[in-house]
Amino acid sequence: MGMTITEKIFARASGRESVRAGDIIDANIDLALMQEITTPSIYRGLKEVGAGIWDVERVVVVIDHFSPPSATWKADNVKETNQFVKDCGIKYFYPHRGIMHVVLPETGHIRPGELIVGVESHTVTHGAFGAVAIGIGATEMVYVLAKGTLWFRVPETILVRIDGKFNSSIFGKDIMLSILKELGVDGATYKALEFAGTAIGELTIDGRITLANMSVEAGAKNGIIEPDDKMTDYVREKSRMPFTVVRSDDDAKYSQTLHIDASQLTPLVACPHSPDNVKPISEVEGIHVDQAFLGTCTNGRMEDLRIAAKILKGRTIPKDTRFLIFPGSVEIYQNAIKEGIIDTFLEAGAILCNSSCGPCGGGHMGVLGDGEVCISSGSRNFRGRMGSPSAQIYLGSAATVAASAASGEMTDPRKFLGE
Protein backbone atom coordinates (compact mmCIF):
# COMPACT_ATOMS: atom_id res chain seq x y z
CA MET A 1 0.00 0.00 0.00
CA GLY A 2 1.36 3.39 -0.99
CA MET A 3 1.52 6.52 1.14
CA THR A 4 0.08 10.00 0.85
CA ILE A 5 2.39 13.02 0.75
CA THR A 6 1.55 13.72 4.41
CA GLU A 7 2.39 10.15 5.44
CA LYS A 8 5.67 10.23 3.52
CA ILE A 9 6.79 13.42 5.25
CA PHE A 10 5.89 11.99 8.66
CA ALA A 11 7.75 8.76 7.82
CA ARG A 12 10.91 10.69 6.88
CA ALA A 13 10.68 12.91 9.98
CA SER A 14 10.28 9.90 12.27
CA GLY A 15 13.03 7.82 10.67
CA ARG A 16 10.64 5.14 9.43
CA GLU A 17 10.32 3.52 6.03
CA SER A 18 6.56 3.93 6.18
CA VAL A 19 3.70 5.06 8.40
CA ARG A 20 -0.06 4.64 8.28
CA ALA A 21 -2.95 6.77 9.45
CA GLY A 22 -3.38 6.27 13.18
CA ASP A 23 0.28 5.51 13.92
CA ILE A 24 1.76 7.33 16.91
CA ILE A 25 5.21 8.66 16.08
CA ASP A 26 7.99 10.84 17.45
CA ALA A 27 9.11 13.15 14.68
CA ASN A 28 12.05 15.51 14.20
CA ILE A 29 10.96 19.09 13.58
CA ASP A 30 12.47 20.97 10.65
CA LEU A 31 11.19 24.43 11.53
CA ALA A 32 9.49 26.02 14.57
CA LEU A 33 7.51 29.25 14.20
CA MET A 34 6.64 31.69 16.98
CA GLN A 35 4.94 35.05 17.37
CA GLU A 36 4.59 37.57 20.15
CA ILE A 37 1.26 36.46 21.59
CA THR A 38 2.68 33.27 23.10
CA THR A 39 6.46 33.76 23.00
CA PRO A 40 6.65 35.26 26.52
CA SER A 41 4.88 32.26 28.09
CA ILE A 42 7.00 29.86 26.06
CA TYR A 43 10.16 31.59 27.23
CA ARG A 44 9.02 31.34 30.83
CA GLY A 45 8.33 27.64 30.27
CA LEU A 46 11.85 27.09 28.95
CA LYS A 47 13.27 28.79 32.02
CA GLU A 48 11.14 26.69 34.35
CA VAL A 49 12.47 23.43 32.90
CA GLY A 50 16.00 24.79 32.61
CA ALA A 51 16.22 24.13 28.88
CA GLY A 52 17.85 25.94 26.00
CA ILE A 53 16.93 25.85 22.33
CA TRP A 54 17.88 22.71 20.46
CA ASP A 55 18.81 24.54 17.22
CA VAL A 56 18.48 28.30 16.80
CA GLU A 57 18.85 27.85 13.02
CA ARG A 58 15.46 26.15 12.97
CA VAL A 59 13.49 28.77 14.92
CA VAL A 60 11.78 31.81 13.41
CA VAL A 61 10.15 34.56 15.48
CA VAL A 62 7.78 37.17 14.07
CA ILE A 63 5.94 40.16 15.55
CA ASP A 64 2.74 40.57 13.56
CA HIS A 65 -0.40 40.49 15.72
CA PHE A 66 0.49 43.40 18.02
CA SER A 67 2.17 45.50 15.37
CA PRO A 68 2.04 48.14 16.67
CA PRO A 69 0.69 47.36 20.18
CA SER A 70 -2.68 48.90 21.03
CA ALA A 71 -2.63 48.17 24.78
CA THR A 72 -0.08 48.08 27.58
CA TRP A 73 -0.12 44.29 27.93
CA LYS A 74 0.44 43.91 24.20
CA ALA A 75 3.42 46.25 24.37
CA ASP A 76 4.74 44.12 27.24
CA ASN A 77 4.45 41.01 25.07
CA VAL A 78 6.42 42.69 22.30
CA LYS A 79 9.07 43.75 24.79
CA GLU A 80 9.37 40.23 26.23
CA THR A 81 9.56 38.76 22.73
CA ASN A 82 12.45 41.09 21.91
CA GLN A 83 14.18 39.96 25.10
CA PHE A 84 13.67 36.27 24.23
CA VAL A 85 15.26 36.82 20.84
CA LYS A 86 18.28 38.54 22.42
CA ASP A 87 18.72 36.08 25.28
CA CYS A 88 18.43 32.98 23.09
CA GLY A 89 20.39 34.25 20.12
CA ILE A 90 17.56 33.84 17.65
CA LYS A 91 18.95 34.48 14.17
CA TYR A 92 15.74 34.71 12.21
CA PHE A 93 13.63 37.49 13.70
CA TYR A 94 11.12 39.56 11.71
CA PRO A 95 9.56 42.31 13.86
CA HIS A 96 6.90 44.51 12.27
CA ARG A 97 7.66 43.31 8.72
CA GLY A 98 4.29 41.74 8.08
CA ILE A 99 2.27 38.63 8.80
CA MET A 100 4.21 35.48 9.65
CA HIS A 101 2.58 33.31 7.00
CA VAL A 102 3.30 35.91 4.33
CA VAL A 103 6.81 36.88 5.39
CA LEU A 104 8.23 33.38 5.85
CA PRO A 105 7.70 32.13 2.28
CA GLU A 106 9.04 35.47 0.99
CA THR A 107 12.22 35.07 3.00
CA GLY A 108 12.88 31.48 1.94
CA HIS A 109 12.11 29.70 5.20
CA ILE A 110 9.40 27.43 3.76
CA ARG A 111 10.46 24.45 1.68
CA PRO A 112 8.74 21.31 0.33
CA GLY A 113 9.02 18.04 2.20
CA GLU A 114 9.61 19.54 5.64
CA LEU A 115 7.75 19.17 8.94
CA ILE A 116 6.86 22.59 10.32
CA VAL A 117 5.14 23.52 13.58
CA GLY A 118 4.01 26.92 14.77
CA VAL A 119 2.18 28.42 17.72
CA GLU A 120 -0.49 29.81 15.42
CA SER A 121 -3.41 27.93 13.92
CA HIS A 122 -2.77 29.20 10.41
CA THR A 123 0.64 27.54 10.32
CA VAL A 124 -1.23 25.17 7.99
CA THR A 125 -0.74 27.87 5.32
CA HIS A 126 2.69 26.49 4.48
CA GLY A 127 1.22 23.24 3.23
CA ALA A 128 0.76 25.12 -0.04
CA PHE A 129 4.49 24.55 -0.55
CA GLY A 130 4.32 20.78 -0.14
CA ALA A 131 5.27 20.77 3.54
CA VAL A 132 3.41 19.31 6.49
CA ALA A 133 2.70 22.41 8.58
CA ILE A 134 0.78 22.14 11.84
CA GLY A 135 -0.36 24.55 14.53
CA ILE A 136 0.53 23.55 18.10
CA GLY A 137 0.11 24.93 21.62
CA ALA A 138 2.56 26.89 23.74
CA THR A 139 3.35 23.94 26.03
CA GLU A 140 4.10 21.76 23.01
CA MET A 141 6.38 24.46 21.66
CA VAL A 142 8.38 24.49 24.90
CA TYR A 143 9.05 20.78 24.31
CA VAL A 144 9.91 21.37 20.65
CA LEU A 145 12.38 24.13 21.47
CA ALA A 146 14.04 21.99 24.13
CA LYS A 147 14.12 18.65 22.26
CA GLY A 148 13.58 19.34 18.57
CA THR A 149 10.95 16.60 18.39
CA LEU A 150 7.23 16.15 19.02
CA TRP A 151 4.80 13.24 18.98
CA PHE A 152 1.99 13.03 16.46
CA ARG A 153 -0.81 10.72 15.46
CA VAL A 154 -0.54 10.34 11.71
CA PRO A 155 -3.79 11.77 10.28
CA GLU A 156 -6.09 10.21 7.73
CA THR A 157 -6.18 12.16 4.48
CA ILE A 158 -9.14 13.55 2.57
CA LEU A 159 -8.36 14.03 -1.12
CA VAL A 160 -9.95 17.16 -2.58
CA ARG A 161 -9.87 17.01 -6.37
CA ILE A 162 -10.46 20.36 -8.06
CA ASP A 163 -10.89 19.93 -11.81
CA GLY A 164 -12.14 22.02 -14.68
CA LYS A 165 -11.44 25.64 -15.58
CA PHE A 166 -12.59 28.49 -13.38
CA ASN A 167 -13.42 31.91 -14.81
CA SER A 168 -11.48 35.06 -13.99
CA SER A 169 -13.85 36.13 -11.19
CA ILE A 170 -13.17 32.95 -9.18
CA PHE A 171 -10.26 32.83 -6.77
CA GLY A 172 -8.77 30.46 -4.22
CA LYS A 173 -11.14 31.87 -1.59
CA ASP A 174 -14.23 30.90 -3.59
CA ILE A 175 -12.86 27.39 -4.07
CA MET A 176 -12.14 26.98 -0.37
CA LEU A 177 -15.54 28.32 0.63
CA SER A 178 -17.16 25.74 -1.64
CA ILE A 179 -15.13 23.03 0.12
CA LEU A 180 -16.18 24.33 3.53
CA LYS A 181 -19.80 24.26 2.41
CA GLU A 182 -19.38 20.55 1.67
CA LEU A 183 -17.25 19.52 4.66
CA GLY A 184 -18.40 21.92 7.39
CA VAL A 185 -16.15 23.29 10.10
CA ASP A 186 -15.54 19.86 11.59
CA GLY A 187 -15.60 17.61 8.52
CA ALA A 188 -11.83 17.24 8.44
CA THR A 189 -11.09 17.21 12.16
CA TYR A 190 -7.61 15.73 12.77
CA LYS A 191 -7.30 14.83 9.11
CA ALA A 192 -5.10 16.09 6.33
CA LEU A 193 -6.66 17.85 3.35
CA GLU A 194 -4.72 17.09 0.19
CA PHE A 195 -5.62 19.39 -2.70
CA ALA A 196 -5.13 18.02 -6.21
CA GLY A 197 -6.66 18.11 -9.69
CA THR A 198 -6.19 19.89 -13.00
CA ALA A 199 -7.42 23.24 -11.66
CA ILE A 200 -4.64 23.40 -9.06
CA GLY A 201 -2.06 23.92 -11.80
CA GLU A 202 -4.05 26.92 -13.02
CA LEU A 203 -4.10 28.55 -9.59
CA THR A 204 -1.52 31.17 -8.74
CA ILE A 205 0.85 30.66 -5.83
CA ASP A 206 -1.29 33.14 -3.89
CA GLY A 207 -4.46 31.18 -4.67
CA ARG A 208 -2.93 27.91 -3.49
CA ILE A 209 -1.83 29.54 -0.26
CA THR A 210 -5.45 30.51 0.43
CA LEU A 211 -6.55 26.87 0.09
CA ALA A 212 -3.95 25.58 2.54
CA ASN A 213 -4.51 28.50 4.90
CA MET A 214 -8.22 27.81 5.37
CA SER A 215 -7.90 24.03 5.69
CA VAL A 216 -7.88 24.54 9.46
CA GLU A 217 -11.36 26.08 9.20
CA ALA A 218 -12.59 22.59 8.29
CA GLY A 219 -10.84 21.24 11.38
CA ALA A 220 -7.92 19.81 9.41
CA LYS A 221 -4.61 18.95 11.06
CA ASN A 222 -2.89 20.15 7.91
CA GLY A 223 -3.62 21.09 4.32
CA ILE A 224 -1.15 20.23 1.58
CA ILE A 225 -0.55 20.56 -2.16
CA GLU A 226 2.00 18.59 -4.14
CA PRO A 227 4.59 21.02 -5.54
CA ASP A 228 4.70 21.48 -9.31
CA ASP A 229 7.25 23.41 -11.38
CA LYS A 230 5.47 26.69 -10.64
CA MET A 231 5.89 26.14 -6.92
CA THR A 232 9.44 24.75 -6.97
CA ASP A 233 10.59 27.66 -9.15
CA TYR A 234 9.15 30.03 -6.54
CA VAL A 235 10.90 28.26 -3.67
CA ARG A 236 14.26 28.15 -5.47
CA GLU A 237 13.99 31.87 -6.11
CA LYS A 238 13.48 32.54 -2.41
CA SER A 239 15.64 29.90 -0.71
CA ARG A 240 19.23 28.75 -1.19
CA MET A 241 18.68 25.65 0.92
CA PRO A 242 18.15 22.22 -0.71
CA PHE A 243 14.78 20.52 -0.49
CA THR A 244 13.12 17.30 -1.58
CA VAL A 245 9.79 17.28 -3.37
CA VAL A 246 7.45 14.60 -2.00
CA ARG A 247 4.45 13.24 -3.89
CA SER A 248 1.63 10.86 -3.01
CA ASP A 249 1.78 7.33 -4.38
CA ASP A 250 -0.79 6.29 -6.98
CA ASP A 251 -2.10 3.62 -4.60
CA ALA A 252 -2.20 5.86 -1.52
CA LYS A 253 -5.23 5.32 0.70
CA TYR A 254 -7.65 8.20 1.36
CA SER A 255 -10.48 8.25 3.87
CA GLN A 256 -12.65 10.30 1.51
CA THR A 257 -12.50 11.96 -1.90
CA LEU A 258 -14.27 15.25 -2.55
CA HIS A 259 -14.78 16.47 -6.13
CA ILE A 260 -15.04 20.16 -7.00
CA ASP A 261 -15.90 21.31 -10.54
CA ALA A 262 -14.18 24.67 -10.84
CA SER A 263 -16.17 25.60 -13.94
CA GLN A 264 -19.41 25.56 -11.93
CA LEU A 265 -18.24 27.93 -9.20
CA THR A 266 -19.66 31.41 -8.71
CA PRO A 267 -18.45 34.06 -6.23
CA LEU A 268 -19.27 32.89 -2.71
CA VAL A 269 -19.44 34.39 0.78
CA ALA A 270 -19.43 32.85 4.24
CA CYS A 271 -22.28 34.44 6.16
CA PRO A 272 -22.38 35.06 9.93
CA HIS A 273 -21.32 33.41 12.13
CA SER A 274 -19.39 30.48 10.68
CA PRO A 275 -16.97 29.90 7.77
CA ASP A 276 -19.15 27.03 6.53
CA ASN A 277 -22.35 29.12 6.32
CA VAL A 278 -21.64 29.62 2.63
CA LYS A 279 -23.97 31.17 0.07
CA PRO A 280 -23.64 32.68 -3.42
CA ILE A 281 -22.98 36.40 -3.27
CA SER A 282 -26.26 36.86 -5.16
CA GLU A 283 -28.21 35.83 -2.05
CA VAL A 284 -26.80 38.65 0.09
CA GLU A 285 -26.42 41.43 -2.48
CA GLY A 286 -27.68 44.79 -1.36
CA ILE A 287 -26.84 44.44 2.35
CA HIS A 288 -25.17 47.67 3.49
CA VAL A 289 -21.46 47.35 4.35
CA ASP A 290 -20.08 49.48 7.19
CA GLN A 291 -16.56 48.10 6.83
CA ALA A 292 -14.64 46.23 4.16
CA PHE A 293 -11.37 44.63 5.22
CA LEU A 294 -8.67 43.45 2.82
CA GLY A 295 -5.64 41.71 4.29
CA THR A 296 -4.73 38.80 6.62
CA CYS A 297 -2.65 35.69 6.01
CA THR A 298 -5.54 34.40 3.90
CA ASN A 299 -5.83 37.20 1.33
CA GLY A 300 -3.36 40.02 1.84
CA ARG A 301 -1.01 39.20 -1.06
CA MET A 302 -0.21 40.87 -4.39
CA GLU A 303 -2.91 39.00 -6.30
CA ASP A 304 -5.46 40.32 -3.83
CA LEU A 305 -4.25 43.92 -3.96
CA ARG A 306 -4.10 43.88 -7.75
CA ILE A 307 -7.66 42.68 -8.24
CA ALA A 308 -8.92 45.15 -5.63
CA ALA A 309 -7.10 48.01 -7.38
CA LYS A 310 -8.57 46.94 -10.73
CA ILE A 311 -12.06 47.18 -9.28
CA LEU A 312 -11.48 50.48 -7.43
CA LYS A 313 -9.69 52.28 -10.27
CA GLY A 314 -11.53 55.54 -10.96
CA ARG A 315 -14.16 54.86 -8.30
CA THR A 316 -14.93 56.43 -4.92
CA ILE A 317 -15.87 54.48 -1.82
CA PRO A 318 -19.17 55.71 -0.29
CA LYS A 319 -18.64 57.92 2.74
CA ASP A 320 -20.61 55.66 5.05
CA THR A 321 -18.34 52.69 4.25
CA ARG A 322 -14.75 52.42 5.44
CA PHE A 323 -12.33 50.23 3.48
CA LEU A 324 -9.27 49.09 5.48
CA ILE A 325 -6.36 47.63 3.54
CA PHE A 326 -3.47 45.80 5.24
CA PRO A 327 -0.83 44.57 2.76
CA GLY A 328 0.43 41.21 4.04
CA SER A 329 4.06 42.26 4.26
CA VAL A 330 6.35 45.24 3.83
CA GLU A 331 7.63 43.66 0.61
CA ILE A 332 4.10 43.48 -0.76
CA TYR A 333 3.44 47.05 0.38
CA GLN A 334 6.56 48.26 -1.44
CA ASN A 335 5.62 46.39 -4.62
CA ALA A 336 2.12 47.84 -4.46
CA ILE A 337 3.62 51.33 -4.24
CA LYS A 338 5.80 50.65 -7.31
CA GLU A 339 2.81 49.42 -9.30
CA GLY A 340 0.69 52.46 -8.38
CA ILE A 341 -1.79 50.30 -6.49
CA ILE A 342 -1.50 52.30 -3.27
CA ASP A 343 -2.31 55.53 -5.13
CA THR A 344 -5.41 53.88 -6.55
CA PHE A 345 -6.55 52.88 -3.07
CA LEU A 346 -5.93 56.32 -1.59
CA GLU A 347 -7.65 58.09 -4.45
CA ALA A 348 -10.69 55.88 -3.94
CA GLY A 349 -10.83 56.82 -0.24
CA ALA A 350 -9.48 53.61 1.30
CA ILE A 351 -7.60 53.57 4.59
CA LEU A 352 -4.07 52.19 4.18
CA CYS A 353 -2.68 50.43 7.24
CA ASN A 354 0.65 48.86 8.12
CA SER A 355 1.53 45.28 7.30
CA SER A 356 0.14 43.34 10.24
CA CYS A 357 -2.72 41.06 11.25
CA GLY A 358 -4.76 44.17 11.98
CA PRO A 359 -8.42 43.66 12.91
CA CYS A 360 -8.58 39.99 11.85
CA GLY A 361 -8.70 38.81 15.46
CA GLY A 362 -10.20 42.00 16.85
CA GLY A 363 -6.85 43.13 18.19
CA HIS A 364 -6.79 46.72 17.01
CA MET A 365 -7.49 49.08 14.10
CA GLY A 366 -10.85 48.34 12.59
CA VAL A 367 -12.86 46.74 15.38
CA LEU A 368 -16.58 46.59 14.68
CA GLY A 369 -19.31 48.43 16.57
CA ASP A 370 -22.75 47.20 17.58
CA GLY A 371 -24.73 45.90 14.63
CA GLU A 372 -22.12 46.82 12.05
CA VAL A 373 -21.63 44.70 8.92
CA CYS A 374 -18.17 43.82 7.63
CA ILE A 375 -17.09 42.01 4.48
CA SER A 376 -13.64 40.55 5.19
CA SER A 377 -11.00 38.71 3.20
CA GLY A 378 -10.01 36.89 6.39
CA SER A 379 -10.60 33.28 7.35
CA ARG A 380 -13.00 33.49 10.30
CA ASN A 381 -16.26 35.23 11.03
CA PHE A 382 -17.16 33.97 14.49
CA ARG A 383 -19.45 36.10 16.62
CA GLY A 384 -17.49 38.84 18.38
CA ARG A 385 -14.21 38.04 16.61
CA MET A 386 -13.71 41.56 15.28
CA GLY A 387 -15.37 43.55 18.03
CA SER A 388 -19.02 43.75 19.04
CA PRO A 389 -20.81 40.39 19.36
CA SER A 390 -23.75 41.93 17.53
CA ALA A 391 -21.63 42.75 14.47
CA GLN A 392 -22.09 40.69 11.30
CA ILE A 393 -18.96 39.40 9.55
CA TYR A 394 -19.04 38.02 6.00
CA LEU A 395 -16.06 36.39 4.30
CA GLY A 396 -15.24 36.69 0.63
CA SER A 397 -12.48 36.92 -1.93
CA ALA A 398 -10.48 40.09 -2.41
CA ALA A 399 -12.58 40.79 -5.49
CA THR A 400 -15.83 40.45 -3.54
CA VAL A 401 -14.48 42.63 -0.73
CA ALA A 402 -13.35 45.35 -3.15
CA ALA A 403 -16.58 45.29 -5.14
CA SER A 404 -18.59 45.61 -1.93
CA ALA A 405 -16.38 48.46 -0.73
CA ALA A 406 -16.82 50.29 -4.02
CA SER A 407 -20.62 49.92 -3.85
CA GLY A 408 -21.08 50.29 -0.10
CA GLU A 409 -23.12 47.09 -0.12
CA MET A 410 -22.61 43.40 -0.78
CA THR A 411 -21.84 43.18 -4.48
CA ASP A 412 -21.01 40.47 -7.01
CA PRO A 413 -17.49 41.26 -8.30
CA ARG A 414 -18.49 40.16 -11.80
CA LYS A 415 -20.34 43.48 -12.13
CA PHE A 416 -16.94 45.21 -12.04
CA LEU A 417 -14.97 42.60 -13.95
CA GLY A 418 -17.10 42.59 -17.07
CA GLU A 419 -18.44 39.04 -16.70
Query: Structurally, how many domains does the chain consist of?
Result: 2
Mark whether 115 and 256 lie in a shared domain: yes
Picking from 242, 261, 280, the residue at the C-terminal end of a domain is: 261
Average pLDDT over residues 285-312: 98
Residue 304 has phi, psi (to 5 degrees) of -70, -45
Predicted local confidence at residue 1, as pLDDT: 81
Predicted local confidence at residue 363, as pLDDT: 76
Q: Is 353 annotated to bind ligand?
A: no
pLDDT band at residue 419 using 50, 70 and 90 as cut-offs: low
Average pLDDT over residues 194-198: 97
Q: Report in angstroms the alpha-carbon separations of 279 from 230, 294, 402.
A: 32, 20, 18
Mark whether 298 and 389 lie in a shared domain: yes
Q: Is 297 annotated to bind ligand?
A: yes
Average pLDDT over residues 1-24: 97
Picking from 261, 290, 323, the residue at the C-terminal end of a domain is: 261
Mark whether 192 and 74 lie in a shared domain: yes
Picking from 261, 276, 301, the residue at the C-terminal end of a domain is: 261
> Which is nearest to 186 in space by CA: 219, 220, 214, 223?
219
> Which is nearest to 209 in space by CA: 361, 340, 328, 63?
328
CA distance 69 to 247: 42
Q: Is 357 annotated to bind ligand?
A: yes
Mark whether 80 and 130 lie in a shared domain: yes
Predicted local confidence at residue 364, as pLDDT: 75
Which of 307-311, 324-328, 361-365 is predicted least confidently? 361-365
Range of the domain at 295: 268-417
Predicted local confidence at residue 418, as pLDDT: 80
184 pLDDT exceeds 80? yes
Mean model confidence pLDDT for the chain: 97
Percent of the chain with pLDDT over 70: 100
Mark whether 239 and 304 lie in a shared domain: no
pLDDT band at residue 26 using 50, 70 and 90 as cut-offs: very high
Mark whether 250 and 301 lie in a shared domain: no
Average pLDDT over residues 204-224: 98
42 pLDDT exceeds 90? yes
Predicted local confidence at residue 362, as pLDDT: 85
CA 202 to chain centre: 19
Question: What's the whole-model pTM score?
Answer: 0.96
Average pLDDT over residues 370-382: 97
Mark whether 245 and 359 lie in a shared domain: no
Mark whether 90 and 168 lie in a shared domain: yes
Mark whether 329 and 344 lie in a shared domain: yes
User: The domain that contains 160 carries what CATH number?
Assistant: 3.30.499.10
Mark whether 194 and 118 lie in a shared domain: yes
235 pLDDT exceeds 80? yes
Mark whether 63 and 128 lie in a shared domain: yes
Average pLDDT over residues 21-47: 97
Mark whether 231 and 360 lie in a shared domain: no
